[in-house]
Structures are given as C-alpha cells and as structure tokens.
Amino acid sequence: MNWQGLIGHESQKQGFERLLKKGRLGQAYLFTGPAGVGKRRLAKTFCASLLCLKHAAKPELGLCGDCESCALCERDSHPDLLTVAKPEDKSEFPVKLMNEFRHLFYLKPMVSQKKVAILDDADFLNPESANSFLKTLEEPPPGMVVFLIGERPEKQLQTILSRCQQIPFGPLSPEEMDRISGDALRFAPEWKWAKWASGGSIASARAMTTAPFWALVDRVFRLLARQVKLDATLAEDLIHLAESAGNTGALQRPLLLDFLRALSRTGSHFLGPKLPGDPLEDSHPPWVKEVQPALSRPKILRLLETLEKSGEQIERYIPLALGMAWFAEELHQLAEV
C-alpha cells in the first residue's frame, strides 16, 4: 500500500492534501461513483496515512510503510481502522450492526493516535442505520475520520448527504487502466474490448478478461443469431461463471452484472453508428463479425430491455439461480423471434 501505486483520481487526492495542509480535514466523507475504480483503495490508503506512526502528524499525504501501524494496515488487521459492510444476506444496512460499529469508535486507539473507519455499502443505509451513524458525528471521538463508500448519488439519503462531504469519482481513463493492469492483462487478446465494455472500472475489466467470460458472451449472441442450438445448460453455465468469482453472493453478483453489462454494451455497439476512431474496430473478437449481420435491430433492442430487467433482479437480491433461469428462458424466447 503506497501513494505512488495509486493511479487515477488525482483531483480527489490533491483535494485531501489541501485539506490536510490547512488542518481542515472533516469527519465524514462519502465517496460515490462506479464500482471498481479504486474508491475503497484510496480510502484505505488515506486511512493508513492518518494512522502511520511516523507520518500522521505531518500535514501531507504519505505513509512510511514500515512502522507497526503501516504493517497492520497492509495485513488488513489494524485495530484502529474499523471497517463495516452490509451483510450479504441483507438487502439493507441493519441498524443493529451500525450500533455495534459506532460503539467501537469510542474505545481508545490501540496502536495509533486516532481511530478511522471505512463504511462500505453506503447505498444500502436505511433511515434507521443512517441516523444511528449520524449520532456519531454529533459527538465524535477526537480525530475521527470516516469514509463512506457508495456508488450512486441518487441512492444516498438526504440526512447522509447533508452531514458528509460527497466526493464523486469518475471512471478510470483507458490510459490509467493500462497502467494499473500490468503486462499480463494489457497484452491479453480481450483486454481492449474488456476495457471498453467495463466503462472505466478496472475490477470489471479484470473480470471480463477471461476466456470463460467471453465464451459465454459469444454463446449468447450466437444463440440470438441462431448459430447455435437452444440448450438447457445456459443458466447453469452462467451460474458456474458466477461461482468462478468466489463462493458468496457478494462476489458472484458483481461478476454477473459485469456479464450483463458486457452484453449490453456490445449490443448497443451493434446498434450505434460506427464513429471514426471507434476503439473496437481493430479489436473485434472474431465472433462479432459473424453474429452482427444476423441480429435485427428490434432483436437487439429487446435484448437490451431483457438485460436491464435481469440486472435489476440481481441488484434486488433475488437468488442468482432463479435470476439466471429467467434470463436464459427470455433469451431462448428472444432467439425464436
């Protein structure tokens, strides 16, 4: 963990540096913006520099990397860096969990001079858990700084927006993604396409740069183009793909959302006029040229609608097997059109 390794989001970093220099760091910051662009990583690095035993007193961002505090941050086991997230099986952030979390703020720091915290899944705070959290801001422990991590500004409660400073994050640029990716990804055949389909999310682009992922994207389009037979295993294979991300829904859902996004962006690309300098023209996977002529405009439009509905279902936490069974059935019907 170090500042030099953090690529992108320069204006956000400079903004924090200015606040530190002026000694005007606030208590609560809400990071919003697309998933997988580095919001949590920036918050963690920021927390590490506020806790660093050699650096914390200096009015600048930085961490020494070798004090006890830095070593604990590196291992994700610093007792003064508190983290909390919505449990996977809940659709909202439970107030009970928030109350327990708040309590930890008032315990004395054990290693560093203060306590800092990262509150994940801020999009899922409900009025009760948000109000519980806001009570901490009314009587804050000395030096406390909390970073709330969300995605969509429209999902944030007014009470949170009025008490936390919102820091919006945008997508990473293609150049930044190249710098973060490392050689193994950057020279992978699917990288250029994945980078575009991910919409500037390095986490999504990484997930999209695998052979099974694109084999399934290919299969869906070939199914719609009636170049492969309808088959009963599609839903199952989609679940297998999701399982490759890990054994919890928290890991599997984002991969399925990435999958739907890749289909959606590819479908939209088929519809749209090809602009000069189109990043994809020279990097089309071979199947694109083969399926595109067989897909009518109404079919693609219906596909886009289906993808949107399926994405909403996944975000509403329906069981993934049920969601994918529905999606596969819709695709089969669409193929017949």
Complex with Zn ion: residue 72 or 134, whichever CB lies closer: 72
Q: Which residues contact 271 (CB under 8 A, 6 or more apart)?
A: 297, 300, 301
Contact 209, 185 (CB under 8 A): yes
Residue 84: its H or E element: strand 81-84
**Minimum distance, C-beta of residue 280 to Zn ion, in the bound complex (Å):** 44
CA atoms within 13 A on the CB side of 218: 15
Complex with Zn ion: residue 50 or 167, whichever CB lies closer: 50
**Minimum distance, C-beta of residue 5 to Zn ion, in the bound complex (Å):** 15
Strands 145-149 and 28-32 come out as: parallel
Residue with tokens 């948000």: 130
Distance CA 257, CA 193 (A): 17
**Minimum distance, C-beta of residue 1 to Zn ion, in the bound complex (Å):** 10
**Minimum distance, C-beta of residue 69 to Zn ion, in the bound complex (Å):** 5
**Minimum distance, C-beta of residue 61 to Zn ion, in the bound complex (Å):** 13
**Minimum distance, C-beta of residue 64 to Zn ion, in the bound complex (Å):** 4
- Residue numbers at the binding site for Zn ion (CB under 5 A): 52, 63-64, 67, 70
Complex with Zn ion: residue 67 or 122, whichever CB lies closer: 67
Q: What's the gap between Cα 108 and its chain centre? A: 32
Burial (0-12, 13-18, 19+ Cβ within 10 Å), 12: buried
Complex with Zn ion: residue 3 or 326, whichever CB lies closer: 3
How far from 22 is each of 3, 19, 25, 26, 44, CA to CA, in Å?
20, 5, 8, 11, 22
**Minimum distance, C-beta of residue 47 to Zn ion, in the bound complex (Å):** 12
Residue with tokens 């996004």: 261
Complex with Zn ion: residue 76 or 305, whichever CB lies closer: 76
Complex with Zn ion: residue 47 or 125, whichever CB lies closer: 47
Q: Is the dihedral of CA 66, 70, 71, 74 positive or negative?
A: negative
How far from 256 is each of 58, 200, 315, CA to CA, in Å?
44, 17, 10
Complex with Zn ion: residue 113 or 131, whichever CB lies closer: 113
Complex with Zn ion: residue 114 or 222, whichever CB lies closer: 114
Return the closest-CA partner of residue 59 out of 25, 13, 34.
25
Q: What's the gap between Cα 105 and its chain centre? A: 26
**Minimum distance, C-beta of residue 110 to Zn ion, in the bound complex (Å):** 15
* Tokens, residue 175: 């150049």
Q: Which residues contact 24 (CB under 8 A, 6 or more apart)?
A: none
**Minimum distance, C-beta of residue 48 to Zn ion, in the bound complex (Å):** 7
Complex with Zn ion: residue 41 or 332, whichever CB lies closer: 41
